[in-house]
């Protein structure tokens, strides 16, 4: 049985699925002709996404400084482009950043959002969620709330920390499944705190304003603050 599928402008093979997201699958395709409809064209990023890169043993403590600065420059440019065109991504995280140049991907949750605009839908990924969205999604589920463009900035800060250190900044001992401890970590932190540690299931929450000693960056810690 043929695994080839076609649209008006592209041919792709379903055996070559190169990515999956909440809103669809991604296949390697071949272009047939130009389309009259708006389409998103990107490079084929054969190295995968940033989360896969961070899972490599050599990056267990984050990217080396030269590569981190390249990533930082590309990510800031991508965020600036989105903002200048009036969009909020709403799910910034390493798994949604492709490695060729570091391109933001997975626009299934992207929404046109100007300064002063709000949205109510609960989207994003737990470890990178703004505290207000986390609260609405898991703590006070029956209280409608509104959110603005600042949610992307929180997710950006969490992504920058993860990339610099190899781990997410806020994680209970039992992982993100411990919703109440997770919420305490992200909602009660003081200004300047960039990470939290819990070394046992009933252990204290230990706040930190410094990068871990295992981090491979020699400077730029101020870039990682997500107040």
Q: For the segment 110-120, what is each residue's pLDDT rounded down to a tens digit? A: 666 666 655 55
Give pTM, 2 decimals. Answer: 0.69
Q: What is the pLDDT of residue 225?
A: 47
Q: Is the pLDDT of residue 1 over 70?
A: no
Q: How far is it, in rounded angstroms, from Cα 127 to Cα 158?
A: 8
pLDDT at 37: 60
Q: What is the pLDDT of residue 45?
A: 74
What the chain holds in terms of domains, given with CATH numbers, is 1-41 (no CATH), 46-224 (1.10.510.10)
DSSP per-residue letters across 207-218: EESS--TT---S
Q: What percent of the chain has pLDDT over 90?
A: 32
Per-residue pLDDT at 121: 67
pLDDT in tens, 169-218: 999 999 888 999 999 999 999 999 999 989 898 889 999 999 998 998 87
Could you report the per-residue pLDDT of 29-57, keeping only the tens digit for each?
666 567 556 556 566 777 789 999 999 99
Q: How many CB atoms lie within 10 A of CB 116?
A: 7
Q: Which of 15, 25, 91, 115 is catalytic?
A: 91
Whether 110 and 87 have beta carbons less than 8 Å apart is answered as yes
Q: Using 50, 70 and 90 to split pLDDT, how confident is the model at 162?
A: very high
Tell the residue number behind the tokens 């981190």, with chain if given. Answer: 68
Residue 91 catalytic? yes
């Amino acid at each position: 049985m043929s695994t080839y599928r076609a649209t008006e402008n592209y041919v792709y093979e379903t055996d070559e699925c190169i990515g999956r997201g909440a809103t669809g699958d991604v296949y390697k395709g071949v272009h047939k002709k130009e389309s009259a409809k708006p389409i998103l064209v990107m490079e084929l990023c054969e190295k995968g996404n940033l989360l896969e890169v961070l899972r490599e043993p050599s990056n267990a403590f984050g990217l080396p400084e030269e590569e981190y600065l390249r990533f930082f420059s590309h990510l800031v440019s991508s965020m600036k482009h989105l903002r200048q065109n009036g969009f909020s991504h709403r799910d910034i995280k390493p798994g949604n950043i492709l490695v060729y140049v570091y391109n933001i991907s997975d626009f299934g949750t992207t929404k046109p959002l100007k300064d002063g605009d709000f949205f109510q839908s609960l989207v994003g990924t737990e470890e990178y969620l703004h505290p207000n969205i986390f609260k609405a999604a898991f703590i006070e589920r029956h209280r409608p709330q509104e959110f603005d463009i600042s949610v992307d900035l929180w997710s950006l800060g969490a992504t920058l920390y993860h990339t610099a250190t190899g781990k997410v900044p806020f994680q209970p001992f039992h992982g993100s499944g411990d919703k109440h401890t997770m919420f305490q970590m992200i909602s009660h932190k003081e200004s300047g705190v960039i990470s939290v540690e819990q070394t046992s299931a009933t252990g204290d929450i230990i706040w930190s304003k410094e990068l871990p000693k295992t981090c491979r960056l020699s400077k730029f810690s101020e870039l990682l603050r997500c107040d």
